[in-house]
């Protein structure tokens, strides 16, 4: 039997002092109920990426010296024809409606475009104050596109849509307010909707609002539904409502405690940590089933159900403790990634797993105790028939070297895929498939150049005047470099204004800029005039490799012009195209390290490095095989999948630990081969049942409105199946090989 480091004593204590344990459960649950009431959700996605890198420093500087571009919502109006009096006047009214809303600070649209009419008349709207004929509208829009090329990013070429950038007030879009704000803005838009006109909102605030809605919906409905489905499957297997309850209770309790703990500690659940409830279901349901099946098995020999339960806790408790330790270690390994989001995921996840272990070790014995007092005793069911599944695995042991070779080849292929697979971080992957925000983002990416700008920040020489030819040339050189990579009309800068003034023989000056409200100038120049922005309309939804190619081209174009030291490229697309993939790479490296760490823990628990090493390939296989499948299907990794692999590893280890534990129990009285076969016969029904029940239960997560959650559950299910196969076909072969010298 494995060394559980005494963790199983918790279960024995609960069984010996059931009233005290019940009170402790009730008190913990009462506190959790209070915490659940206070639970908050967060749509934050930049803090999650924060890793102390130069990219984040540049981005922070951009936001502090210019403005917080993450407050920009993009309003998309789709209509039959903007180039008509009706069309453009409706859009004008929509502009005013948003402009005058209390939650809005400023607007950027075709109606805020200005042309310079000379020193006497100054700046004037580029578009007329009113239109009389459709032809006048058409000509005005064409003239606007010609005079101010950047205006082409504000209405579509065929006039069937127009966008405006709405800069929302900071306090209107904090996590607690963003949903209400977006709802309010949607309502404003609805006043203009007809059969032919639709108004939708995209951009960061809308994405954050949708993220929060989706996270809340998944945690509130889907996670408990998954537990209930697992419980129903357990009922089908055990044909007993009490057995079903005993198996499902610790999972439900763990989720409840987890959510309550998050609420009490003020930890808002974000799009990363919202996968933790599923992880808890998987780990806890599996361990509870192992414990229950062992209890059931022991009850066949032992008349006293409570004694059998005590024995089951002694035998299975250490394995449950080790699997919690290895999963906790895997999660804690994320804390060393140097990344905020992963640190939180690792820490919160490890605490959740610890809580889950308590839920199993206290929840299961306590409920089983009360059930036994009311006359319940687990009875043998058709789970025995499942032992037959182990037969092919036992037969294959004859060709164990071939089986091992096959495993190693597959592992090699998987590791190749691990190194080759592309990654992508798209926020819209975390929005529902039916999300209007996601659809609008897709439309804007396709029709315009995206909602998420990329910025070239140009350092000005402060020793010179703003309009000094040297400073001016630096800005124009930057624009030339941008033009090498991005189409004309997809960017704007202070140069647009300077060009307008030059038409009338004037020059841009600091005084002239100061006369314009900061809400507008903050899009072009820093407050102390030492930096100028070239804003490039871009998308945050490209694959990492596509974005990296664009950024490399832009950097090359800047370097070619000697601007490497004076211009920095930043913006959310840099974070999603460079920082997020690096985060995923770190996550995968952490995972491989976690495999090593877990093997070490297993070695210590088993008291044998050979037995620990025997678990290496069977535990690597589920991870790298899933990566191989994704690679072959052309599906890039995203954060959810990468995190799912961590979950997957937890599952793989869980099954291995139980198999190894049983093997070590058998090994006391039998030689290696017989002990392995005995372990296969004993444990296969349990791990097959857990795989079946958890896969069935997790199928419900595939119906999540979040594509990322659906992919996540598909990855977990795939891993469950592969982990099961690896544990019954691969692990026994390794055990015989690695432990044979002991014979």
Partner 1 sequence: MLKKLTLAGALSLAAVLAPVSQTSSFASPAIFENMSGKWRGKGLVKASPKGKNESIRCRMSNKPNGASRINLSGNCAVSGFVFSLNGFIQQNGSKNSYTASMFRSLANLKQSNFSGQRSGSKINFSFKARDRVSKQNVEAKIRLNSKNAKAFDVQISRTDPKSGKIFNVGTITFAKR
Of the pair 129, 434, the CB lying nearest partner 1 is at 129
Of the pair 516, 699, the CB lying nearest partner 1 is at 516
Of the pair 88, 330, the CB lying nearest partner 1 is at 88
Residue 523 CB, shortest distance to partner 1, in Å, is 11
Residue 648 CB, shortest distance to partner 1, in Å, is 52
Of the pair 190, 401, the CB lying nearest partner 1 is at 190
Pair 658, 684: CB distance under 8 Å: no
Q: HEC profile for 325-364?
A: HHHHHHHHHHHHHCCHHHHHHHHHHHHHHHHHHHHHHHHH
Of the pair 109, 340, the CB lying nearest partner 1 is at 109
Pair 540, 427: CB distance under 8 Å: yes
> What is the DSSP secondary-structure string of 550-572?
HHHHHHHHHHHTT-TTTEEEEEH
Measured CA to CA, the distance from residue 60 to residue 401 in angstroms comes to 56
Measured CA to CA, the distance from residue 263 to residue 539 in angstroms comes to 34
Residue 166 CB, shortest distance to partner 1, in Å, is 12
Residue 448 CB, shortest distance to partner 1, in Å, is 20
Of the pair 120, 195, the CB lying nearest partner 1 is at 120
Q: Is 168 strand, coil or helix?
A: strand
In degrees and rounded to multiples of 5, residue 170 shows phi and psi of -55, -45
Residue 125 CB, shortest distance to partner 1, in Å, is 5
Structure tokens belonging to residue 496: 């647009």
Structure tokens belonging to residue 694: 């958890």
Of the pair 84, 109, the CB lying nearest partner 1 is at 109
> What is the DSSP secondary-structure string of 280-293?
HHHHHHHHHHHHHH
Of the pair 67, 667, the CB lying nearest partner 1 is at 67
Residue 234 CB, shortest distance to partner 1, in Å, is 59
- Cα Rg, the chain, nearest whole Å: 31
In degrees and rounded to multiples of 5, residue 720 shows phi and psi of -55, -45
Residue 108 CB, shortest distance to partner 1, in Å, is 8
Measured CA to CA, the distance from residue 117 to residue 123 in angstroms comes to 6
Strand order in the sheet with 491-493: 491-493, 531-536, 454-459, 567-571
Residue 156 CB, shortest distance to partner 1, in Å, is 21
Q: Is 155 strand, coil or helix?
A: strand
CA atoms in the 13 A half-sphere facing the CB of 113: 26
Of the pair 167, 238, the CB lying nearest partner 1 is at 167
Residue 493 CA: distances (Å) to CA of 66, 266, 563, 574, 657: 13, 41, 17, 19, 61
The footprint of partner 1 (CB under 8 A) covers 92-93, 96, 99-100, 106-108, 111-112, 114, 117, 120-125, 128-130, 512, 515-517, 520
> What is the DSSP secondary-structure string of 583-625?
HHHHHHHHHHHHHHHHHHHHHHHHT-HHHHHHTHHHHHHHHHH
Of the pair 111, 486, the CB lying nearest partner 1 is at 111
Measured CA to CA, the distance from residue 125 to residue 523 in angstroms comes to 18
Residue 104 CB, shortest distance to partner 1, in Å, is 8
Residue 100 CB, shortest distance to partner 1, in Å, is 5
Residue 512 CB, shortest distance to partner 1, in Å, is 8
């Amino acid at each position: 039997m494995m060394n559980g480091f005494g963790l199983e004593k918790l279960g024995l204590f609960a069984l010996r002092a059931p009233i005290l344990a019940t009170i402790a459960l009730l008190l913990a649950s009462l506190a959790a109920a209070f915490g659940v009431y206070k639970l908050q959700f967060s749509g934050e996605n930049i803090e999650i990426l924060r890793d102390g890198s130069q990219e984040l420093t540049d981005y922070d500087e951009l936001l502090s010296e210019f403005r917080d571009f993450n407050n920009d919502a993009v309003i998309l109006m789709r209509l039959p024809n903007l180039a008509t009096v009706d069309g453009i006047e409706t859009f004008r009214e929509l502009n005013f409606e948003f402009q005058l809303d209390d939650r809005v600070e400023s607007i950027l649209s075709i109606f805020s475009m200005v042309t310079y009419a000379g020193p006497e008349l100054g700046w004037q709207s580029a578009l007329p104050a009113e239109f009389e004929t459709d032809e006048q509208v058409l000509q005005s829009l064409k003239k606007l596109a010609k005079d101010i090329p950047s205006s082409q990013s504000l209405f579509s070429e065929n006039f069937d849509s127009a966008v405006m950038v709405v800069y929302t007030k900071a306090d209107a879009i904090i996590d607690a307010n963003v949903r209400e704000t977006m709802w309010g803005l949607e309502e404003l838009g609805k006043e203009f909707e007809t059969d032919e006109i639709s108004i939708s909102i995209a951009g960061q605030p809308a994405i954050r609002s949708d993220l929060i809605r989706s996270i809340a919906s998944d945690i509130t409905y889907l996670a408990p539904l998954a537990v209930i489905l697992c419980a129903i499957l357990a009922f089908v297997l055990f044909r007993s409502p009490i057995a079903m309850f005993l198996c499902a209770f610790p999972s439900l309790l763990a989720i409840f405690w987890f959510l309550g703990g998050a609420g009490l500690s003020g930890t808002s659940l974000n799009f990363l940590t919202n996968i933790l409830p599923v992880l808890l279901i998987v780990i806890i349901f599996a361990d509870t089933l192992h414990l229950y099946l062992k209890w059931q098995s022991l009850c066949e020999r032992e008349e006293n159900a409570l004694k059998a339960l005590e024995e089951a806790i002694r035998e299975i408790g250490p394995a449950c403790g080790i699997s919690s330790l290895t999963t906790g270690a895997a999660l804690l390994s994320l804390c060393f990634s140097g990344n905020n989001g992963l640190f939180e995921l690792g820490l919160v996840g490890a605490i959740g797993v610890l809580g889950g272990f308590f839920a199993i070790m206290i929840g299961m014995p306590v409920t089983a105790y009360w059930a036994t007092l009311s006359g319940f005793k687990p009875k043998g069911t058709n789970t025995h028939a499942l032992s037959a599944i182990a037969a092919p695995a036992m037969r294959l042991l004859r060709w164990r070297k071939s089986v091992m070779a096959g495993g190693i080849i597959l592992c090699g292929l998987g590791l190749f895929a691990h190194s080759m697979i592309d990654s992508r971080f798209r926020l819209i992957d975390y929005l529902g498939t039916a999300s209007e925000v996601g659809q609008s983002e897709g439309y804007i990416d396709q029709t315009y150049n995206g909602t998420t700008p990329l910025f070239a920040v140009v350092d000005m020489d402060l020793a010179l005047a703003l309009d000094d030819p040297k400073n001016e040339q630096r800005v124009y050189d930057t624009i030339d470099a941008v033009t090498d990579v991005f189409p004309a009309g997809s960017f704007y800068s202070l140069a647009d204004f300077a060009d307008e003034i030059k038409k009338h023989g004037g020059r841009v000056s600091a005084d002239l800029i100061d006369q314009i409200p900061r809400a507008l100038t903050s899009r072009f120049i820093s407050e102390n005039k030492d930096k100028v922005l070239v804003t490039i309309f871009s998308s945050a939804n490209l694959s990492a490799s596509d974005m990296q190619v664009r950024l490399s081209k832009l950097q090359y174009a800047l370097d070619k012009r000697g601007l490497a030291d004076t211009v920095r490229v930043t913006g959310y697309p840099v974070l999603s195209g460079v920082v997020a993939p690096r985060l995923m790479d770190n996550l995968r490296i952490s995972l491989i390290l976690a495999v090593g760490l877990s093997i070490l823990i297993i070695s210590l628990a088993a008291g044998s490095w050979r037995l620990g090493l025997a678990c290496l390939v069977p535990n690597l296989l589920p991870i790298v095989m899933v990566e191989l499948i994704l690679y072959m299907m052309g599906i890039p990794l995203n954060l959810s999948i990468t995190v799912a692999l961590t979950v997957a590893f937890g599952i793989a280890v869980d099954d291995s630990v139980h198999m190894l534990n049983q093997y070590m129990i058998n090994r006391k009285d039998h030689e290696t081969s017989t002990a392995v076969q005995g372990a296969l016969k004993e444990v296969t029904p349990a791990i097959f049942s857990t795989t079946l029940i958890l896969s069935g239960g997790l199928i419900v997560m595939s119906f999540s409105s979040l594509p990322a959650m659906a992919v996540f559950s598909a990855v977990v299910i795939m891993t469950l199946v592969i982990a099961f196969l690896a544990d019954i076909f691969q692990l026994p072969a390794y055990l015989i090989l690695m432990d044979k010298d002991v014979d």
